[in-house]
Chain A
């Protein structure tokens, strides 16, 4: 495809979609969203970019092989699940830490659950891109 408008537009749209995907990921615990949806949204952004500028440029922009992203995500998700073992809990039990909490405010929640969701995000993002890049390049 050779459309300047699409190319120029896709650049910004892809960036916006990526930011939006991270927003979806982070708010997922309380509002609609989460790792699955975030990963799919992010992948959509990159696919838009790939359609407009070709997979070669998309791969360059990604810097890392998408299958590596998926594997790293898998590792992060597994590690997040293993953390529970350190505290003597069952596998994949969420561990929570509230930064700066007091009697009234709970504080900023940091949890292995979020780390796990980030892993899921990366797996979905990487897998979808692996598949689509390979399809586009093969055809």
Chain B
């Protein structure tokens, strides 16, 4: 290993270890809040930002945000540790770490923000960072497509959501969530309630990949595995769920809320579980079960009962623990064997004992075996589903189907690769993954087991406070127990296991059948391609239409628009003008007018460019003389100098330009008509302006304060450099940028000419 490589390794080590430490510290810091929050305390802090618009840096820590913050920072530290090994050899490792850390901070900001606009900003930050992460493998067309798809879908939803936020803020008169959510009566009785809700749900549904926006999430698996495990199981996709939970106290309780969330959640859950069975790629199978989990969480958020909320809070934690763990396990398998195809893998149990243990623990939690936390979560789900306000049988049926299918997927992902005999040979011989990669999934899986054995701890520390932030009091929290006696949920659980086993036994047959059916159905993913294609065609057509590249067209369109706009304004607003008293025009004035009119006339009729230019110069000098007549020397000097420079510029350009084309007589008629139209209109407007008495307030103000306050007698210059210095600065920036752009354009054409 040469010197350079060694230093790179060392810097990669530092880059890799820093975020692990920082996120662990964050995790411990948040952990320190657990006792306070468990007592029902809500911590809030606020710094001003744009107070006039009601935007502030305000953060709130209650049960719900603490649960999310702990999941994000906790899983985050394990994922960072994992990536250190998984991606350490990657050329852009430090870039990856930076993206991922930026993502984690945005996500923490999102769940802690109390101000709607602040929340939106963090929301979009997660969109952008996840775009970078999904597109981390941007060398492949698939990676780019997936990243762009995720960005477009979630970004479009977020825009709708912003509109909903603004409407909500205006309706209530505050952008602080803590103030808004106290006024659920006012929200739900306002006329905009339905619109606000639908707009915000557009944002949460796209972010949380609810049907029919579900297609981007499986594609996002183009990201490196640690990203999938972090973003697409534990955090980002849960942002939508988080927001729905956050808004629950203010919005829940209406038919619209109940039915929208129930229907979309149930459809997503069942559809995703079916699609999950079809996958042979372990990562994709997990991705679809994530969709199922998101659907279930949404479904429960539609309700208001204590059971449903307890089920929501518990399943949220259960799912994050086992899903992150399983994703990381799949990453371990992929890393050491070189494949994650379920049909190829098998018999890994002997070679990867620790990974096997982690996978088994996580999968049993996922399948819902006692004594794992997943079992408690499942019991609560059934209890919650049976108590729903909408259609208990249907909802319980949907949950049952989803759970049974999830059982099957757990078998496919965590049982088959480790225990079943291998049929094909692997790309690399299997061995245990390094400790940095094994420890993460193991810790998460063990946590799932430990919480299953001691559910009280979890209930008191996180579940109850979360339910309290949703329903207002801890009282409604239902007990988390392994054994609640023989009741309907237990019977349903048994039914789940039996169905799941049957499905697992037949899953390869089912998969083949499903593939045949699905191949004939229209796919949202292909529909997306058609949509993008159509969008590009429209953009192409529109660009060709409004940017043909001919200066003549641009000018014509600009002036025609000006003319039409002004005419409309005058037609609606009316115009009040007086013809000036011609007798009052002085001799100087008449001479200048003649000069300007004559110059303009010659410009229009001549066929020689030189003549046209000179005539136009005469017009310019005439205008400068008007300024002199009205004693505005600064403006006159500037006008004269600019005229001079324009003559030089045009003279230089003239050498290249062809002769004026006199053949285009038909287009010249239109030009003339437009010119006369605009000229007449502007003349009328000027007459109308000068008919009004001159308002001297501004002039008087500057005349009085110019010397005492700005020590200058030339008002024009004092305004330019002192009173309105910021505007002047903006103008000189424009001047400089324009010159640089023109320079760049000319250079490029000069170079391409040289090459030819």
Which residues of A pack against B, CB within 8 Å? Answer: 28-37, 40-41, 43-44, 47, 51, 67, 70-71, 73-74, 77-78, 81, 91-92, 94, 96, 109, 111, 113, 116-117, 119-120, 123-124, 126-128, 130-132, 134-139
Contact = CB atoms under 8 A, between A and B. Distances in A.
B502 interface: no
A115 B656 CA distance: 40
B653 interface: yes
B688 interface: no
B644 A44 contact: yes
Interface stretch (B259-267, B515-523, B632-640): B632-640
Contacts of A78: 729
A121 B718 CA distance: 15
Interface in B707-724: 710-714, 716-718, 720-722
B652 A136 contact: yes
Given A44-B645, A67-B739, A120-B732, A134 B747 contact: yes
A92 B714 CA distance: 19
Interface of B: 633-634, 637-638, 641-642, 644-645, 648-649, 652-653, 655-656, 710-714, 716-718, 720-722, 725-726, 728-729, 732-733, 735-736, 738-740, 742-743, 746-747, 749-750
B728 A120 contact: yes
Given A77-B732, A116-B729, 15 more contacts: A31-B713, A32-B714, A34-B717, A37-B637, A37-B638, A41-B641, A91-B726, A92-B726, A94-B725, A96-B711, A116-B721, A124-B732, A132-B645, A134-B743, A138-B750
Contacts of A136: 652
Contacts of A51: 648
Nearest to A123: B732
Nearest to B742: A131
B750 A137 contact: yes
Contacts of B653: 135, 139
Contacts of B655: 139
Nearest to B738: A127
A132 B747 contact: no
B756 to A, nearest CB: 14
Contacts of A36: 638, 720
B726 to A, nearest CB: 5
B714 to A, nearest CB: 5
Given A31-B714, A135-B649, A73 B722 contact: no
A31 B716 CA distance: 10
B348 to A, nearest CB: 62
B633 A134 contact: no
A39 to B, nearest CB: 9
By secondary structure, the A interface counts as helix
Contacts of A127: 735-736, 738-740
A31 B715 CA distance: 9
A91 B726 CA distance: 8
Nearest to A133: B743
B69 to A, nearest CB: 37
Contact of B711 (A31, A111, A139): A111
Nearest to B714: A30
Contacts, number: 144
A91 B722 CA distance: 11
B634 A37 contact: yes
Contacts of B733: 74
A114 B409 CA distance: 75
B649 A132 contact: yes
A35 B721 contact: yes
Contact of A81 (B642, B649, B729): B729
A134 B732 CA distance: 19
16 contacts: A34-B721, A36-B720, A40-B641, A47-B648, A70-B736, A94-B710, A113-B712, A116-B721, A117-B721, A124-B732, A130-B742, A132-B648, A136-B652, A137-B750, A138-B747, A139-B653
Nearest to A94: B722
A132 B714 contact: no
A122 B750 CA distance: 26
A33 B636 CA distance: 11
A33 B656 CA distance: 35
Q: Which 4 A-B pairs have the closest CB atoms?
A: A127-B739, A92-B725, A40-B641, A32-B633
B729 A92 contact: yes
Nearest to B725: A92
A113 B733 CA distance: 17
Given A30-B712, A44-B644, A139-B656, A73 B732 contact: yes
A28 B638 contact: no
Contacts of A74: 732-733, 736
A139 B649 CA distance: 11
Contacts of A123: 732, 735-736
B632 to A, nearest CB: 9
B255 to A, nearest CB: 53
Contacts of A31: 713-714
A134 B746 contact: yes
A124 B749 CA distance: 24
